[in-house]
Amino acid sequence: CFRASLVTPLIFGLLLQPPLTQLAIVTQPNIVLLMADDLGIGDVGCYGNDTIRTPNIDRLAKEGVRLTQHIAAAPLCTPSRAAFLTGRYPLRSGMDAINNYRVIFWNGGSGGLPPNETTFAKILQQQGYSTGLIGKWHLGVNCESRNDHCHHPLNHGFDYFYGMPFTLISDCQPTETPEMDRAFRRKLWLSTQMIGLVTLTAALGRLTGLISVGWKTLACLAGFSFLFFVSWYSSYGFVRYWNCIMMRNHEVTEQPMVTDRTMSFILRESISFIERNKQKPFLLFLSFLHSHTPLITTEKFVGRSRHGLYGDNVEEMDWMVGQVLDAIDKEGLKNTTLIYFASDHGGWLERQEGKRQLGGWNGIYRGGKAMGGWEGGIRVPGIFRWPGVLPAGTVIDEPTSLMDIYPTVVHLAGGALPQDRVIDGRDLMPLLQGTVDHSEHKFLFHYCGIHLHAVRWHQKDSGAIWKAHYVTPVFHPPGAGACYDRGFCPCFGEGVTHHDPPLLFDLSRDPSEAKPLSADTEPLFDIVIRKIGRAVEEHHRTLTPVPEQLSVYNIMWKPWLQPCCGTFPFCWCDKEGEN
């Protein structure tokens, strides 16, 4: 009886423990990573937007943890996603550019996420997880032949892939104005005209006897003229066939993609992946095509928002988030699933057509997409939910990075971080659970291509968040807040200003970076600049040379690398339609 009197209260005590204690011992949770494309931090309700409706994303924040200083490692798709998957600054893997071609430009290029990089998906796969990527990749496909798939998701730890190996561009929508490298097209057309003029002049000179030109020379000139014309023409007519394709695993299923149904297929595949893998731990990386131009939006969402097509597109994405959450609830996986929502970088301010704003809004933060230093290009939404493990309704204003997802999910899966390379991310679980007060990040380095534009120092003892800008883009028109004359702000050259001493801000007092400090207005100015300078020197000592994945050669289109579902160059199929 004495033993029973002890055991009975003990059992009741265990049963009455709060869910936090019970679920804290859950090993290998399911992990669902939701990443928007080009979404501005100011486009989401829980980050202050009161006109675009995002109830499902807001629900994640209400039931979980919202980060207010969540930072992308790069202000463009390709390098930011490389950093996200590897936990490393993109220049460590060669995924940031020394030139103006700062992203993967063609499916038929040879650059991409190097095979020797270890993604978190690869580690989770080794830990017994089913791993799937649905949606956008934009980290390359092939290296040396059409089917080597050295950069493909299935070569980087994903068991299943359905989506675009490239990214959405306006060329994917036949009714939209072509977007693909307009400056390159202008140069190509100018070259075509010049060579054509030379050829015509030589031919007329030969016919009139004014110029002595051989027929072979004329034939060569005519051949060059034709090749340049075909290249210029195909850059319009064939981009949709070369880049706007869908794949399932290694197979091209749509070439070109049928955009009217793409979003419904991505949602279907995501829910199907959850249903197929509910009996074992799974990693689902749902990489949305929203809200990148051309803002492909299904008919039932068009005209519903107060922000035109862009707002419609964001609201559709939020609905898709809700459908995924409902699928997780339906399978009884809510309490054993960590969900994360973010954007790959800030909204694209310069993306306009006439009076239509087709890019996102970055709230109070200065700058936007492609700007490596200003907050608007790199500060993004960051939300985590894991009921019973992470405290609901929590807001954390500590510097965190998209690179932190890498060590966080590897730790939760019971894996080990690679010891043969630098991992720049930090495990977020102690911060998210409230067992520590501060982020592990002391310094964060903000690159534009391979060029260091800014550095942030979190001075934990004072609460100050100092940010020094070494380089800033030249806005046009002056004071406009973006590079409307170029479409993108550059990283170097005449389009930037170098600052010596650097521009200094304290983001804890001036998050909009509106009032730069000086030695006259800030007593700690010199000390802060020296401290950050020493951190930059230490950081540079950790960098080692690697092959440039975004070199001019690697980003060039190569016919022998072009994914093709037919006999090249007759690449066309719709296997989804056939099914």
**What is the arithmetic mean of pLDDT over 208-232?**
76
- Asked, for residue 571, whether it belongs to a domain, the answer is no
What b/e string do you get for 366-401 counting C-beta neighbours within 10 Å, with b at 16 or more? bbbbbbbbbbbbbbbbbbbbbbbbbeeeeebebbbb
3-state secondary structure (DSSP) of residue 152? coil
3-state secondary structure (DSSP) of residue 463? coil
Beta strand extents in 370-436 (DSSP E only): 379-385, 394-396, 400-401
pLDDT band at 9 (very low <50, low <70, confident <90, very high): very low
99 & 194 share domain: no
Confidence at residue 338, expressed as pLDDT on a 0 to 100 scale: 98
**What is the arithmetic mean of pLDDT over 348-371?**
94
283 & 156 share domain: yes
133 & 280 share domain: yes
pLDDT band at 235 (very low <50, low <70, confident <90, very high): low
322 & 402 share domain: yes
**What is the arithmetic mean of pLDDT over 99-121?**
96
Confidence at residue 238, expressed as pLDDT on a 0 to 100 scale: 83
Q: By the 8 A CB rule, do 146 and 114 touch?
A: no
- Asked, for residue 576, whether it belongs to a domain, the answer is no
The tokens for 344 are: 């790959």
423 & 332 share domain: yes
333 & 467 share domain: yes
472 & 394 share domain: yes
507 contact partners, CB below 8 Å, separation of at least 6: 69, 375, 456, 465, 466, 467, 513
Confidence at residue 187, expressed as pLDDT on a 0 to 100 scale: 67
Q: What angle do CA 191, 193, 194 make, to 5 degrees?
A: 65
Confidence at residue 107, expressed as pLDDT on a 0 to 100 scale: 96
Confidence at residue 24, expressed as pLDDT on a 0 to 100 scale: 46
224 & 252 share domain: no
User: pLDDT tens-digit profile of 396-445?
Assistant: 999 999 999 999 999 999 999 999 999 999 999 999 999 999 999 999 99
User: pLDDT tens-digit profile of 16-74?
Assistant: 444 443 344 468 999 999 999 999 999 999 999 999 999 999 999 999 999 999 999 99
Confidence at residue 336, expressed as pLDDT on a 0 to 100 scale: 98
pLDDT band at 5 (very low <50, low <70, confident <90, very high): very low
87 & 198 share domain: no
Confidence at residue 232, expressed as pLDDT on a 0 to 100 scale: 63
User: pLDDT tens-digit profile of 370-386?
Assistant: 999 999 999 999 999 99
Residue bearing the bigger pLDDT, 460 or 189 = 460
Q: What are the residue numbers of the active site?
A: 77, 138
Q: What is the CA radius of gyration of the chain?
A: 26
Query: Per mean pLDDT, which range of 252-266, 270-284, 285-299, 346-360 is the poorest?
Result: 346-360
- Asked, for residue 34, whether it belongs to a domain, the answer is yes
Task: Output phi, psi for 133, to 5 deg.
Answer: -120, 120
Confidence at residue 441, expressed as pLDDT on a 0 to 100 scale: 98
DSSP bridge pairs for 287: 35, 135
pLDDT band at 96 (very low <50, low <70, confident <90, very high): very high
Q: Which of 342, 311, 325, 324 has its CA nearest to residue 267?
A: 324
Q: How large a percentage of the chain has pLDDT more than 70? A: 92
Confidence at residue 231, expressed as pLDDT on a 0 to 100 scale: 59
pLDDT band at 354 (very low <50, low <70, confident <90, very high): confident
- Asked, for residue 193, whether it belongs to a domain, the answer is yes
Domain final residue pick, 209, 237, 265: 237
Does 10 have pLDDT greater than 70?
Answer: no
- Asked, for residue 565, whether it belongs to a domain, the answer is no
The tokens for 144 are: 């040396």
120 & 49 share domain: yes
- Asked, for residue 335, whether it belongs to a domain, the answer is yes
53 & 202 share domain: no
Confidence at residue 126, expressed as pLDDT on a 0 to 100 scale: 98
Does 461 have pLDDT greater than 50?
Answer: yes
What's the CATH code of the domain at 535? 3.40.720.10
DSSP bridge pairs for 506: 466
Confidence at residue 574, expressed as pLDDT on a 0 to 100 scale: 96
Number of domains in the chain: 2
Q: By the 8 A CB rule, do 458 and 465 touch?
A: yes
pLDDT band at 308 (very low <50, low <70, confident <90, very high): very high
Q: By the 8 A CB rule, do 325 and 339 touch?
A: yes
What b/e string do you get for 248-270 counting C-beta neighbours within 10 Å, with b at 16 or more? beeebbbbbbebebbbebbbebb
pLDDT band at 344 (very low <50, low <70, confident <90, very high): very high
Confidence at residue 183, expressed as pLDDT on a 0 to 100 scale: 62
Beta strand extents in 462-538 (DSSP E only): 464-473, 496-506
Does 359 have pLDDT greater than 50?
Answer: yes
pLDDT band at 184 (very low <50, low <70, confident <90, very high): low
Task: Provide the domain limits for residue 230.
Answer: 182-237
Does 166 have pLDDT greater than 80?
Answer: yes
**What is the arithmetic mean of pLDDT over 150-171?**
97
- Asked, for residue 71, whether it belongs to a domain, the answer is yes
Confidence at residue 12, expressed as pLDDT on a 0 to 100 scale: 44
423 & 540 share domain: yes
Cα distance from N-terminal residue to C-terminal residue, the chain? 69
Residue bearing the bigger pLDDT, 283 or 188 = 283
Task: Give the chain's mean pLDDT.
Answer: 92
pLDDT band at 321 (very low <50, low <70, confident <90, very high): very high
- 328 vs 562: CA distance, rounded Å: 37
- Asked, for residue 564, whether it belongs to a domain, the answer is no
